[in-house]
Structure 1
Amino acid sequence: MTVLTSAGPGPGLRPAGRGIEVTRVGVAGRWRVTRPWPAHLRPIVHSYAGYWEGSVSPFRVRLVPTGRAVVVISLGEPFAQIGRQAHASPYHQVTGSLVAGLENGPRLCDHPGGQEAIRLELTPLGAYRLFALPMSELTDRVVELGDVLGPEAAVLVERLAATGDWATRFDLLDRALTARLARGPLPAPEVSHAWHLLSRAGGAIPVARIAAEVGWSQGYLTRRFTEQVGLTPKTSGRVLRFHRAVRLLTHERAHPAEVSAACGFYDQAHLNREFRVLGGTTPGQLAAARVTEGAVAL
């Protein structure tokens, strides 16, 4: 891995600009461009990075659920097709930038190579505020960015593509996000608290306990939570528990038996079943793979 800063990103890469960190990742000439995002966006944005490929090499990735919504702003070649791994339905062809809602299963993505893009991971309630629509409408779906943001999406993408300076790009994006945030709906405090409880527990908390804590019935909590998060509290808990297990396996190199105990699975067989359903793989296969922001290279 190579890390470069300021305005010296290396041959073939556009200027980085002020305060930018450029990291070479993988072996196919792929670069990741980052900088800290403003404090007022941190409760909304979980991760924030630009990508640039110095060579044109087609690739396929499997995306596994993370409990976050994703925005990919394509400044070069977009993904060729995206589809649910376990579904017999044809892949969805994406013609440009995209929004992906929360998932409860794996998704396969094919790219022709030559990617240049900005990728954001949003907290579910942050996405609810920024998109200004029920998150349940995006559950297990990938749609064009313009379908969510309207005509302003095309204007933003055009302005981002017109500059090669990554600091300027991030400045433009920060202003656009801030403007959307200012006029977006606020989630219900009870839903925010319920999501906080689930996240803090890594998904390992009974829905009945959450409902009692926020003062709602389980049925009402499920309806409001699903509207604003995109998944039910129970399914959100499964996804968050799975995501924590993936992190322990891939980043901390924990043994599957240790992961089962730490994440609240009944046993290792339960862990294996959840990995097949949510990730389309096994704990061992995922531990051996390179997982970056929920993506497994295939």
Structure 2
Amino acid sequence: MSDRPVQFSDRGGWWLAQARPHPALRPFLRSYDGYWETVAVPTRMRTLPTRTTVVIINLGPPLYLEVPDSGVRNREYGSFVAGMHDGHGMYVSPGGQRGIQLDVTPLGAYTLFGVPMARLTNAAVDLPDLLGRGAHALVERLAAAASWSERFDVLDGFLLRRLEGGPVPDPEVTRAWRLLNGDLTVTVADIAADVGWSRKHLTHRFREQAGLPPKVMARVLRFQRAVEQLTGGAGFAEAAFACGYYDQAHLNREFRALSGCTPTELIGGQLEQQRVSTLAEPA
């Protein structure tokens, strides 16, 4: 029987079960997030560009995804992998969701899934299409597990085996990712000079292994940092300066391009979700 520590929290209508992955997996993903809804309420939620590849292992009813400008409209998914995106989308749920979400670094996804991440850019792929028959067996084992601790042990074993045989990113691409993730003002020319590649070669190799070209990845990272700043209480001008935008108007344009709405609309919706969750926390 597993003795892995698992933290449970009530998020207002749904519960979250969290645990840390095996130490060898932690450079690639931060936590295991199990979830289940206590009330089957139909949901429509905006998806945003993030700094991670999202894996949904679905143990409940299917989800329906919409990705504007991609031709994807109300496509049904069970378990799936959503690659790196540079735009927004929507997911629609009939309610009663139950499953596990993994947020995997772009280069971690390249190693764990063993395919060029450019194939998954602005797309969602059914887990069996990516991993083959092993995906069905994984979902069945997770569904049959007696506890969340046991489920996370099953994930450890599965992902550690994937890690052993997966491709290793180029050192130059790994260095480029660290530079982009650490400095919002670094340019592609700076990175190319640092790693000793031409800009064209860097862009090609980085996109293949991380999913987005470095310039586009920088936009997504800047956007995500701005969302964090604004949600944390920063003003628009302050967030624009801190995240490397030219001015507040530049921030506004980027939010519309990447999220499909204004900063006020996006942050207002996120803060309302936080307020509801806080009110639902047990005393």
* Runs of 4+ off more than 3 Å: none
Written as runs of structure 1 = structure 2, the 5 A alignment for 1:42-191 is 42-79=26-63, 81-84=64-67, 86-87=68-69, 89-191=71-173
* Deviations 1:205-246 (CA, angstroms, capped at 9, x unpaired): 110000000000000000000000010000000000000000
Larger helix percent: 2
Q: Tell me: CA distance 1:18–1:48, structure 2 relative to 1, closer, same or farther (3 Å).
A: closer
- Percent of counterpart pairs with the same letter? 48
Alpha-carbon distance in 2 for matches of 1:186, 1:243: 26
Residue 5 (structure 1) aligns with:
none
In 2, are the aligned partners of 1:101 and 1:230 still within 8 Å (CA)?
Answer: yes
- Structure 1's unaligned 5+ residue stretches are 1-15, 293-298
Q: Tell me: CA distance 1:181–1:47, structure 2 relative to 1, closer, same or farther (3 Å).
A: same
Alpha-carbon distance in 1 for matches of 2:106, 2:4: 30
In 1, are the aligned partners of 2:20 and 2:31 still within 8 Å (CA)?
Answer: no
Bigger mean CA deviation after superposition, 34-43 or 186-195: 34-43
- Structure 2's unaligned 5+ residue stretches are 273-283
Residue 271 (structure 1) aligns with:
251
* Deviations 1:173-225 (CA, angstroms, capped at 9, x unpaired): 011010001100000000000000000013x2110000000000000000000
Q: Give the secondary structure class of the aligned counterpart of 1:94.
A: strand
Return the match for 1:222 from 175, 180, 203: 203
Alpha-carbon distance in 2 for matches of 1:150, 1:92: 24
In 1, are the aligned partners of 2:117 and 2:208 still within 8 Å (CA)?
Answer: yes
Q: Which amino acid aligns with 1:39?
A: P
1:257 is displaced (CA, Å) by 0.3
Q: Tell me: CA distance 1:112–1:242, structure 2 relative to 1, closer, same or farther (3 Å).
A: same
Alpha-carbon distance in 2 for matches of 1:104, 1:275: 11
TM-score with structure 1 length normalisation? 0.88
1:48 is displaced (CA, Å) by 2.3
1:92 is displaced (CA, Å) by 4.6
Q: Give the secondary structure class of the aligned counterpart of 1:93.
A: strand
In 2, are the aligned partners of 1:65 and 1:104 still within 8 Å (CA)?
Answer: yes
1:88 is displaced (CA, Å) by 7.5
Q: Which amino acid aligns with 2:11?
A: V
Return the match for 1:40 from 24, 33, 53: 24
Residue 12 (structure 1) aligns with:
none
How many residue pairs match? The answer is 272
TM-score with structure 2 length normalisation? 0.92
Q: Which amino acid aligns with 2:269?
A: A
Residue 277 (structure 2) aligns with:
none
Matching of residue 244 in structure 1 with residue 225 in structure 2: yes
Matching of residue 288 in structure 1 with residue 268 in structure 2: yes
CA RMSD, aligned part only?
Answer: 1.7
In 1, are the aligned partners of 2:20 and 2:30 still within 8 Å (CA)?
Answer: no
Q: Which amino acid aligns with 2:199?
A: Q
Alpha-carbon distance in 1 for matches of 2:226, 2:131: 33
In 2, are the aligned partners of 1:94 and 1:144 still within 8 Å (CA)?
Answer: no
In 1, are the aligned partners of 2:52 and 2:103 still within 8 Å (CA)?
Answer: yes
